[in-house]
Amino acid sequence: MLSVIVFPQDSKLAILPIKDNSNIPIFQGTLILKKTPRGARTGKFRIRKGDQEEFRAPQELIELLRLADEILIAEGNERTEAGFKELLEAYQLDYGYTATCHLCLISGKYSITKSNYIEFHGRRICEDCAKNELVREMKNFKLGRHGQERLFQILVKHRNLDRVLAMLSPEKLDSGLTRFDTIQASRTGRTIKVKDLAIHPDFKKLLLPQLEQLMPVQTLSVEGGLFEGKNQLIVSATATGKTLIGELAGINNLLNGKGKMLFLVPLVALANQKYEQFTKRYSSIAKTSLRIGTSRITKKVKGIQTSLSSDIITGTYEGVDFILRSGNSKTLGKIGTVVIDEIHTLEDAERGHRLDGLIARLKFISPQTQFIYLSATVGKPDWLAQKLGAGLIEFEERPVPIERHLLFAPEYEKKRLIERLSRQEYNKISSKGFRGQTIVFTNSRRGCHLLADGLSIKAMPYHAGLSFSERKKVEEMFGKGELPVVVTTAALAAGVDFPSSQVIFDSLAMGIEWLTIREFQQMLGRAGRPDYHDLGIVVLLADPEKRFGKGESEDEIAFRLLRGELEHFGVDYGEDELLEETLSNIVLSAKLSDIKKIDGYLLGKGDLEYLFDKLKKYGFIEKRNGDLHPTDLGRIVASHFLSVEHTFLIKNAILKGREPLDILTELETMDSVYFKYAAQLSDALGTDIPTRVFGAGLDIVFSSEGFSKLKENLRRNMLDFAKDFMACRCKDSPYCGCAQKKFSKGVIELCAQGLMPDGIISQITKQYGVYAYAGDVLNYLDRTARTLEAVELISRICGKNDASIKARELREKMEA
């Protein structure tokens, strides 16, 4: 069978003779028509076979057309097509039409596109050509393998190459294509009306005006024995009502005389928020206190109740564990309920052992207490529930659906996209009457400020480095709907309750580490609240060219996070962690049987006899009358959360006659210090400098030939900094650490002179052109005061009374 395919173009026609339905023509012909009084006729006709091209007599084309079994005209230039039809009619030749790939025709091939075509620039093309075009564009964009596969999937599904290519041009947002998936909501499930709950009448009276019926996970918990004192592990998505489960148990137990409620969280910001919520919510029936630290620096915040006699104690894990490690467990009084929020912290490499030890010690001092554990992200909930001795209440559904979107965007496009997406969201009003608000996650504190300040829509930064009052202001404005955008780091991911409808990931890293699947799921869980929103939106902005070292690119990480499942790491402690928890348990009780009982509650266990021998060797415990007692040194180590290494660094430094201030800065320096005028320094020196002061930043500033080009005031700032902090003769300066130590001494001395964090920051900015965040300064001083107390006490037991007095006097000045 011979078919002649005719493709009309602007001033010519492509002629492709096809034999037996092949897609490769016998030759590629080109026809140019000429106008005659009788209409269009053949003008010039040439053919090409391989690399050879030659003109043929126009009559040969007519003969070919007469021999053809069919003449098929492809979609093309309408005027040229009309001329060719005149020619066919003049020779009484029949013709038809064919749906064929436009790009194949241009390249001299033929492929039929009926139902399987793909649209491109208003034409139909075949899948092969569409994929080739897409590959060519993706090479320019440097997209990874998973990104390419994703675009191929979207292409085959939506069959429109223009829309898919628009995904590589961030200014052309198409939510239908950027949507990776939708996590559906489920409002099904049993519920219980509050009026039918078997709870204390005063509690029911308080709840009824606020709540008509329980949410599904709360109902499952009640049916699982919540009001019968059963321990429970609650694993449920954010905004499904986990926190109220803890409150239901805690307040009901309190009013029924079973004891107070401890509500414990991993972060100071979250503890502060819970303290304020509970104070406001339960002030008519209970008194609430806050316990978040071990030193007295943080007590400069006025109006906060810290009494252990309160009915409700909200606090950080360490804030309450300090009481137990200090041997003051009886001051907690009768405990009816312990609520542990973010229980997955047990698997954290740095803090997991301390939470494990805290839970074990609380179980020992209050065996009748009801324990409620809360988390949205547990890898193996069955395993954890069994280890904790709790019933598992698991609810996998969300109360609000979440759309997850993936946009490929270079770094320079991200800010504009965030503005556009945030503005669109803020202009929406949900069926509940609330505006859409956005949380943007970025990878550094400085990035929070730069992005928030650079957006054309109202935005504010929020991170752990801000002061309490600064964070409080942001929380109140966002809660009232007055703030469209908050730009934050991981501080919000761990449970601070912001009613956001949209979460945007400006970066998929925190610092220089890619997010874990657990961190990612915590963050995206911030999108969509049932009392506020109809839909939650999560947007990942992935730059295919962003990577750390030779690792994966950001677009590859995006797919790993979107497709990933939570990993289960279990608990595996090193010797130092086991020694710390065992010593803290011995502080709680000297009896060997009790110590073994507490150890039995731990998830992570070691060889107790070996650990006892090590603690004796270090001088932390001693055996008397068959019991194990902490020595004075051991009590200091436990109550101040000291590692073995730090303990002996302090002790050895004291014995060598080192000054308390030198000891402090040898153990820890304040590293979160930034150049205030980093941009001006970079411009003057002709190179980008790191924003952090210590390390490479100092090296570049003071080794550059462009230093003389700095403006006088900036040069004076830098010279003052060098004079006061960089006068060492170390060969590896400024990487030797001397500048950090001297600077940290200066910060401590300013505190001892009576300056609060804001005053300290003002001083260092004015004199040296550097700055820090108030929260970072406060946290450093808080830790320093705690360590200073340890130096004071260890000096005393070492017989170094002068050092002890110096340490006490400095601490008292800091805490005044």
Q: For residues 620 and 613, is the Cβ–Cβ distance under 8 A?
A: no
pLDDT value of position 584: 97
Here the tokens at position 398 are 């969300």
Region 108-126 average pLDDT:
83
**DSSP 8-state symbol, 288:** E
Give residue-wise pLDDT tens across range 521-559: 888 888 988 889 999 999 999 888 888 777 788 888 988
pLDDT band at 572 (very low <50, low <70, confident <90, very high): confident
- Integer Cα distance of 66 and 69 in angstroms: 8
Spatial contact of 73 and 8, defined as CB atoms under 8 Å apart: yes
d(CA 639, CA 529): 40
Residue among 333, 364, 343 at smallest CA distance from 245 = 343
pLDDT confidence of residue 751: 93
Residue 495 pLDDT greater than 60, yes or no: no
Asked if the peptide bond before residue 734 counts as cis, ω within 30 degrees of 0, the response is yes
pLDDT score, position 491: 58
Of residues 99 and 340, the one with the higher pLDDT is 340
Total Cβ atoms within 10 A of residue 510? 18
pLDDT for 376: 86
Q: Which two tokens stand for residue 656?
A: 């060598």
* pLDDT at res. 460: 95
Listed residue (93, 377, 368) closest to 242, CA to CA? 377
Q: By the 8 A CB rule, do 774 and 466 touch?
A: yes
- Which pLDDT tens digit goes with each residue over 157-213? 888 888 888 777 666 677 777 888 888 887 666 789 999 999 999 999 999 998 999
- Is 402-563's fold the same as 575-641's? no
**Are 433 and 441 contacting, i.e. CB atoms less than 8 angstroms apart?**
no
Q: Which helix (H) or strand (E) holds 624?
A: strand 621-624
DSSP-derived pairing of the beta strands 627-630 and 621-624: antiparallel
Helix (H, G, I), strand (E, B) or coil at 688: coil
Torsion of CA 44, 47, 53, 56, to 10 degrees: -50
Give the whole-angstrom CA distance, residue 660 versus residue 252.
49
Q: Please report how the helices 632-639 and 644-655 are oriented relative to each other, as an axis angle in degrees rounded to 10.
A: 120
Q: Tokens at residue 339, please?
A: 């609520």
Do the strands 260-265 and 312-316 form a parallel or antiparallel pair, or are they unpaired?
Answer: parallel
Write out pLDDT tens, residues 23-46.
888 898 999 999 998 889 999 999
Question: Taking 60 as the threshold, does the pLDDT of residue 296 lie above it?
Answer: no
What pLDDT sits at residue 105? 84
- Which CATH code of 3.30.420.60, 3.40.50.300, 3.40.190.10, 3.40.190.170 fits the domain covering 402-563? 3.40.50.300
Check: CB of residue 369 under 8 Å from CB of residue 337: yes
Q: For the segment 598-645, what is each residue's pLDDT rounded down to a tens digit?
A: 999 999 989 999 999 999 999 999 999 989 999 999 999 999 999 999
Strand partners, 285: none
| pLDDT given for residue 155 in this prediction | 85
The two tokens of residue 290 are 């806050």
SS (H, E, C) 32-51: EEEEECCEEEEEEEEEEECC
pLDDT over 70, % of the chain: 96
pLDDT band at 299 (very low <50, low <70, confident <90, very high): very low
Give the DSSP H/E element, type plus range, for residue 147: helix 145-158
Per-residue pLDDT band at 83 (split at 50, 70, 90): very high
3-state secondary structure of 93: coil
**pLDDT at 788 exceeding the cut of 70:** yes
Average pLDDT over residues 477-505: 84
Annotated domain spans of the chain: 2-112, 127-182, 194-395, 402-563, 575-641, 663-815
Domain 194-395: which CATH class?
Answer: alpha beta
HSE-up of residue 229 (Cα within 13 Å, Cβ side): 11
Tell me, which fold does domain 575-641 have in CATH? Answer: Arc Repressor Mutant, subunit A (1.10.10)
Q: What are phi and psi of 494, to 5 degrees?
A: -90, 20
- Mean pLDDT along residues 423-442: 94
Phi-psi region of 259 (alpha: psi -120 to 50; beta: other; left: phi over 0): left
| Cβ contacts of 388 within 8 Å, gap of 6 or more | 231, 233, 343, 359, 371, 373, 603
Structural Rg of the chain based on CA atoms: 36
DSSP state of 547: B
The CA distance from 52 to 605, in Å, is 82
For position 455, what pLDDT does the model report?
A: 93
Residue 295 has a pLDDT of 45
Question: Does this model's pTM top 0.75?
Answer: yes
pLDDT beyond 90 at 332: yes
When the pLDDT of each residue in the chain is averaged and rounded to a whole number, the result is: 89
Average pLDDT rounded to a whole number, residues 443-458: 91
Q: Which amino acid is at 453?
A: D
SS3 annotation, 346-406: HHCCCCHHHHHHHHHHHHHHCCCCEEEEEECCCCCHHHHHHHHCCEEEEECCECCCEEEEE
Distance between CA 349 and CA 187 in Å, rounded? Answer: 37
DSSP state, residue 489:
S
Categorize the per-residue pLDDT at 683 as very low, low, confident or very high, splitting at 50, 70 and 90: confident
| pLDDT at residue number 189 | 67
* Ranges of H-type helices in 458-591: 468-479, 517-524, 554-563, 575-588
Across 151-155, 344-348, 432-436, 671-675, which has the greatest mean pLDDT? 432-436
DSSP state of 185: B
Angle between helices 575-588 and 352-365 (to 10 degrees): 20
